[in-house]
Amino acid sequence: MILVTGGTGFLGRHLVLGLLKAGEQVRILARGADPGLSEAGAQLITGGVLDPEALAEATAGVREIYHLAGQVSRDPAHARLLHQVHVEGTRALLEAAHAAGARRVVVASSSGTVAVSRDPGALLDEEAPEPLELLARWPYYLSKRYQERAALELGGRLGLEVVIANPSLLLGPGDLRLSSSQDVLRVLHGDLPVIPPGGLSFVDVRDVAAFLPTLMAQGRPGARYLLGGANMPLQRFFERVAHIAEVPPPRLRLPGPAVVWGARALDRVGRWTGRRPAVDPVSAEMSACYWYLDDSRARTELGWESRDPYHTLADTVSDLRQRGLA
């Protein structure tokens, strides 16, 4: 039996369906139901990683665990919640896994815990210094970095083999909660007022889901593996999305400080008027940075491969339109 926490999420759903197709018995720990996954053969345990009873039930008889459960938010007010879910929840899961006799856990984190810089020439790998000055400004990424530390430290003490997966921005079909595809949707709607100055890395969710079993089987315990598909300036990214969708791209380009200052000003106005600005200050700060990564470790050690990024963007746009969102 294999356990997938967060199995109803964007990455989790692709992983669960792939495991079931491969003939595996899969149990999901999730806060809500997913009739499609249940019909496909997955066993669902309703609950979260902070629920001891749900954890005990979910980990019983399990040898391998994919820990994908998490909370996505850029709101600084959610810092405590993010820490609880990512750090305290991971500790609780590993303790339950150890008690149940599990042997190996793959923890899904983010490339943003290491591969982010203000330097447009930086191409960062797993051994890059922690960008704590930047992470301290963004509670989501800070909590994910502390999640990694907690998983590796506690796993070592308990004798669990822990491997960390660090994918970049996940795109592709099936983002039902729009946890990753919001900026693509903004381009389709014409709601992106300016082109930010930074750069991003993105990867196809299907490639990551298909590779996680390789990490489970062959990843080095205690190691982190960056997983990317393309490093790209934001201007090129938005222009490619617009070209694929046959919509006008954003035209106005501003330097990073102007984008951040403008977002802060609009946020203050929004608080006075009750209208939400198109770009929040945290997102503006993040868009002024460069999230380029070097995934040579995964490619060299484990044969990681990613598909043509054009196909990922095209499938993302097509999926959003088929669902009536654009």
| CATH of residue 52 | 3.40.50.720
- Model pLDDT, residue 157: 96
Q: Is residue 222 part of a domain?
A: yes
Token pair for residue 92?
Answer: 């609780």
Integer Cα distance of 152 and 155 in angstroms: 5
Token pair for residue 233?
Answer: 């300036």
Whether pLDDT at 182 is above 50: yes
Q: Is residue 25 part of a domain?
A: yes
Number of domains composing the chain: 1
Asked which of 26-35, 204-213, 272-281, 317-326 is least confident by mean pLDDT, the reply is 272-281
Range of the domain at 151: 2-171+202-229+292-308
- Model pLDDT, residue 263: 41
Cβ contacts of residue 159 below 8 Å, gap of 6+? 98
Whether pLDDT at 122 is above 70: yes
Q: Is residue 280 part of a domain?
A: no
Per residue in 1-38, pLDDT (tens digit) is 999 999 999 999 999 999 999 999 999 999 888 889 99
Quickly tell me which residue has 């381009």 as its tokens. 187
Q: Is residue 138 part of a domain?
A: yes
- Please give the backbone phi and psi of residue 5, each rounded to the nearest 5 degrees, phi first: -80, 145
Q: Is residue 192 part of a domain?
A: no
Within 13 Å, how many C-alpha atoms sit on residue 122's CB side? 20
Residue 264 banded pLDDT, cuts 50, 70, 90? very low
Residue 253 banded pLDDT, cuts 50, 70, 90? low
- Model pLDDT, residue 299: 98
**Percent of the chain at pLDDT exceeding 70:** 91
Cβ contacts of residue 216 below 8 Å, gap of 6+? 64, 66, 104, 106, 163
Cβ contacts of residue 238 below 8 Å, gap of 6+? 183, 187, 192, 195, 249, 250
Residue 261 banded pLDDT, cuts 50, 70, 90? very low
